[in-house]
């Protein structure tokens, strides 16, 4: 049986594959078509492939004699955003999946590859095929991993819990790249911490419902939510030292269904980020204090509920492995195309692959912005509805970077 989507993408050029994936985004744990394409391309290159790992994950191993095992990872899922790039291959896809689009009650929400996972998949397909075609020049095992559900911090753990390493063996090093709004054709890396910790929370505030004409009979959870939102913004500005980096974002607010009904509850989705574990602990404690205090001040009939939704650990690059890649990238691309990557407040679960294997890992940035537009300051960043990587030289650089990184650790015959 041909995997979904495999026939449509097999044999196409990489730029065509990228545009196809961009046009057909899929939600976390719903990446059926994307996984089918990845599996088909790996099989065509001679990899031993397993599908359905941790839900929709795909992994393929190319064993080529004695030597180290190098894991190369790409994430596959998209975001619930309405694309506004104006590209001829822009997404018009929608979903009702709660994990991806958070649609409720059958509500359809848009989907978009607004974080470059389509580029990651395409680059890994290209690198895997190139390594297969040049296997006479290296020894060891390439383990290509196409991970689901990175955007909800669940895919890496799901693949590991489902026996990824029991099937293929643990890697000796884990490698991954991510597109960022830096000049296309550049690479960015640094030793040590790369990405901070992230905690996503759902806060439910309870009130007393009433008619819109009789607010005195209510405890209005919408007003309570507004007070909570404003008070949360003082935590970073007044409780975190200016030298630290942290952010609390209220990304979603939900309450009520009718304009003349005061609802009896409201829900907020919070995104909390910090570069240090100590600051993260302080932020979470402050969030709990503020939410409970505002509920009490409003006379809420019951305490609020704070539910963890997902979390990303701090991601750190192994210093020795990073130095090896820095040397390999500089030799291959030239010093002018390799720059330092500053630690950021993003969220990333890639580090779990190295941690589970007790192996070093390296995560680097792949520049994806048109330099001319970047100079004008007109380039939307990741998670924006206008995010649109320059297909070239981003794609060719990403393929070459993954292949170069793998060869830096594989054994030479």
DSSP state at residue 191: S
Question: What is the per-residue pLDDT for 1?
Answer: 33
- What residue has token string 């941690």? 355
Q: Average model confidence (pLDDT) for the chain?
A: 94
The CA R_g of the chain, rounded to the nearest whole Å, is 23
Burial class (CB in 10 A: 0-12, 13-18, 19+), 254: middle
pLDDT digits (tens, 9 = 90+) for 258-317: 999 999 999 999 999 999 999 999 999 999 999 999 999 999 999 999 999 999 999 999
Which phi and psi (to 5°) does residue 369 adopt? -100, 140
Under-70 pLDDT residues of the chain: 1-12, 97-106
Q: Do the Cβ atoms of 135 and 366 come closer than 8 Å?
A: no
247: which 2 tokens? Answer: 């952010």
302: which 2 tokens? Answer: 């019951």
pTM higher than 0.85 for the full model? yes
DSSP state at residue 411: B
pLDDT digits (tens, 9 = 90+) for 173-202: 999 999 999 999 999 999 999 999 999 999
- CA 340 from chain centre, in angstroms, equals 21
308: which 2 tokens? Answer: 């963890």
Domains and CATH numbers, the chain: 6-195+314-409 (3.40.630.10), 197-312 (3.30.70.360)
265-274: strand order across its sheet? 246-255, 265-274, 197-206, 305-312
374: which 2 tokens? Answer: 């970047």
Task: Report the residue count for the chain.
Answer: 413
Please compute, for residue 131, the number of CA atoms within 13 A of its CA located in the half-sphere on the CB side. 38
- d(Cα 322, Cα 305) in Å, to the nearest integer? 42
Is the preceding omega at residue 39 within 30 degrees of 0, hence cis?
no
Give the long-range contacts of residues 333-337, CB within 8 A, separation 24 or more: 333/187, 333/397, 333/400, 333/401, 337/185, 337/186, 337/187, 337/397
Helices 319-333/391-409 angle, 10° precision: 130
- d(Cα 301, Cα 369) in Å, to the nearest integer? 51
Residue 159: closest CA among 137, 177, 143: 143
Question: What is the per-residue pLDDT for 96?
Answer: 84
Residue 132: closest CA among 71, 72, 62: 62
Q: Do the Cβ atoms of 22 and 120 come closer than 8 Å?
A: no
- d(Cα 195, Cα 106) in Å, to the nearest integer? 35
Which 3 state secondary structure label does DSSP give 371? helix
């Amino acid at each position: 049986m041909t995997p979904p989507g495999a026939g449509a993408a097999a044999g196409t050029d990489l730029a065509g594959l990228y545009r196809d994936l961009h046009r057909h985004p899929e939600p976390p744990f719903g990446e059926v078509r994307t996984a089918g394409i990845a599996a088909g391309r790996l099989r065509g290159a001679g990899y031993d492939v397993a599908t359905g790992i941790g839900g929709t994950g795909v992994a393929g191993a190319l064993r080529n004699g004695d030597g180290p095992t190098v894991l190369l990872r790409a994430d596959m899922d998209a975001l619930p955003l309405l694309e506004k790039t104006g590209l001829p291959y822009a997404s018009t896809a929608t979903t009702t999946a709660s994990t991806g689009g958070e649609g409720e009650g059958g509500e359809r929400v848009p989907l978009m590859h607004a974080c470059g996972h389509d580029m990651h998949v395409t680059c890994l397909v290209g690198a895997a095929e190139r390594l297969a075609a040049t296997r006479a020049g290296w020894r060891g095992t390439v383990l290509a991993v196409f991970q689901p559900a990175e955007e909800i911090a669940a895919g890496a753990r799901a693949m590991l819990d489902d026996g990824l390493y029991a099937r293929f063996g643990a890697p000796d090093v884990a490698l991954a790249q991510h597109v960022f709004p830096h000049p296309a054709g550049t690479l960015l890396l640094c030793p040590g911490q790369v990405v901070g910790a992230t905690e996503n929370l759902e806060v439910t505030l309870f009130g007393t419902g009433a008619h819109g004409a009789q607010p005195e009979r209510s405890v209005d959870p919408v007003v309570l939510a507004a007070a909570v939102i404003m008070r949360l913004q003082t935590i970073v500005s007044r409780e975190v030292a200016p030298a630290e980096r942290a952010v609390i974002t209220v990304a979603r607010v939900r309450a009520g269904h009718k304009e003349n009904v005061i609802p009896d509850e409201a829900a907020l989705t919070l995104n909390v980020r910090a570069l240090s574990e100590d600051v993260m602990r302080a932020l979470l404690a402050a969030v709990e204090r503020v939410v409970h205090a505002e509920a009490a001040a409003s006379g809420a009939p019951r305490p609020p509920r704070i539910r963890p939704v997902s979390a990303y650990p701090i991601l750190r690059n192994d210093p020795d492995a990073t130095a090896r890649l820095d040397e390999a990238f500089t030799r291959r691309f030239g010093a002018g195309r390799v720059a330092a990557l500053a630690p950021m407040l993003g969220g990333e679960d890639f580090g779990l692959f190295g941690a589970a294997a007790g192996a070093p890992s390296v995560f680097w940035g792949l520049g994806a912005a048109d330099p001319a537009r970047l100079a004008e300051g007109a380039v939307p960043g990741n998670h924006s509805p206008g995010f649109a990587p320059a297909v070239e030289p981003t794609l060719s650089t990403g393929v070459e970077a993954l292949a170069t990184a793998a060869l830096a650790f594989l054994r030479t015959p």
